[in-house]
Amino acid sequence: MEWKNELAALLKITYPVIQAPMLGVTTPEMVAAVAERGGLGSLPVGGLSPDRTRELIRKTRSLTEKPFAVNLFTNEVPEYNREEAEAMQDFLVKFSEENQLVFERQSLDTLRFYSYREQVEVLTAENIPMVSFTFGIPDDESIAVFKQHGITLIGTATSVREAVMLEKAEVDAVVAQGIEAGGHRGSFLDDEPLPQVGTFVLVPEMINRIGKPVIAAGGIKDGITIKAALQLGAQAVQIGTAFITSHESLAIPSYKTALQRAQVTDSAVTRAFSGRWARGLRNQFMDAIEESGLNIPPYPIQNVLTAGLRSKAQQADRKEFTNLWAGQASAGGEIHSSAEIFARLIAETEALPLY
Ligand X SMILES: Cc1cc2nc3c(=O)[nH]c(=O)nc-3n(C[C@H](O)[C@H](O)[C@H](O)COP(=O)(O)O)c2cc1C
Four-residue CA torsion sign, 143, 145, 146, 148: positive
Choose between 97 and 317: whose C-beta lies nearer to ligand X.
317
- Name the one range near ligand X by CB under 6 A: 181-189, 204-212, 266-274, 295-303: 181-189
303 lies in the binding site for ligand X (CB under 6 A): no
- Of all residues in the shown chain, the one whose CB is closest to ligand X is 240
CB of 218 to ligand X, least distance (A): 4
Residue whose CB is less far from ligand X, 25 or 30: 25
136 or 182: CB nearest ligand X = 182
Judged by CB, which is closer to ligand X: 187, or 241? 241
Rounded CA separation 10/79 (Å): 39
Rounded CA separation 75/264 (Å): 30
Please give the backbone phi and psi of residue 206, each rounded to the nearest 5 degrees, phi first: -65, -40
**Part in contact with ligand X (CB under 6 A); list of ranges 14-22, 166-174, 224-232, 337-345:** 14-22
Q: Which of residues 27-56 bind ligand X (CB under 6 A)?
A: 44, 46
- From 218, 275, 297, 333, residue interacting with ligand X (rule: CB under 6 A): 218
Residue 226 binds to ligand X (criterion: CB under 6 A):
no
Q: Is there binding between residue 245 and ligand X (CB under 6 A)?
A: no
Interaction of residue 60 with ligand X, rule CB under 6 A: no
What is the rounded end-to-end Cα distance, in angstroms, of the chain?
Answer: 10
Question: Please, which of residues 247-276 interact with ligand X by CB under 6 A?
Answer: none
Q: How far apart are CA 299 and CA 221, in angstroms?
A: 29
Contacts (CB under 6 A) with ligand X, residues 309-348: 325-327, 329
297 touching ligand X, by CB under 6 A: no
284 and 321 Cβ atoms separated by less than 8 Å: yes
CB 280 within 8 A of CB 286: yes
Q: Is there binding between residue 134 and ligand X (CB under 6 A)?
A: yes
Reduced 3-state DSSP string for 95-137: HHHHCCCCCCCCCHHHCCCCCCHHHHHHHHHCCCCEEEEECCC
- Residue 210: count other Cβ atoms within 10 Å of its Cβ: 21
Q: Counting contacts by CB under 6 A, is residue 219 touching ligand X? A: yes
22 near ligand X, judged by CB under 6 A: yes
Is there binding between residue 136 and ligand X (CB under 6 A)?
A: no
Q: Which is nearer to ligand X, 96 or 279 (CB)?
A: 279
Task: For residue 241, state whether it binds ligand X (rule: CB under 6 A).
Answer: yes
**Residue selected from 27, 71, 283, 302 as contacting ligand X according to rule CB under 6 A:** 71
Q: Applying CB under 6 A, which of residues 28, 183, 300, 333 lies at the interface with ligand X?
A: 183
Please tell me whether residue 21 binds ligand X under the rule CB under 6 A.
yes
159 binds ligand X (CB under 6 A): no
Asked if 23 interacts with ligand X (CB under 6 A), we say yes
- What CA–CA distance (Å, rounded) separates 291 from 163? 34
* Rounded Cα gap, residues 281 and 339, in angstroms: 25
Distance (Å, whole) CA 270 – CA 182: 11
345 neighbors 220 (Cβ within 8 angstroms):
no
Rule CB under 6 A: choose which of 7, 20, 85, 301 binds ligand X.
Answer: 20
Residue 63 touching ligand X (CB under 6 A): no
**Sign of the C-alpha dihedral, residues 311, 315, 321, 327?**
positive
217 makes contact with ligand X (CB under 6 A): yes
In 248-274, which positions are buried (b, 16+ CB within 10 angstroms) versus exposed (e)? bbebbebbbbbbeebeeebbbebbbbb
By CB under 6 A, is residue 19 in contact with ligand X?
A: no
Cis preceding-peptide flag for 298 (omega within 30 of 0): no
Query: Which residues contact ligand X (rule: CB under 6 A)?
Result: 20-23, 25, 44, 46, 71, 134, 156, 177, 180-184, 217-220, 238-241, 244, 325-327, 329
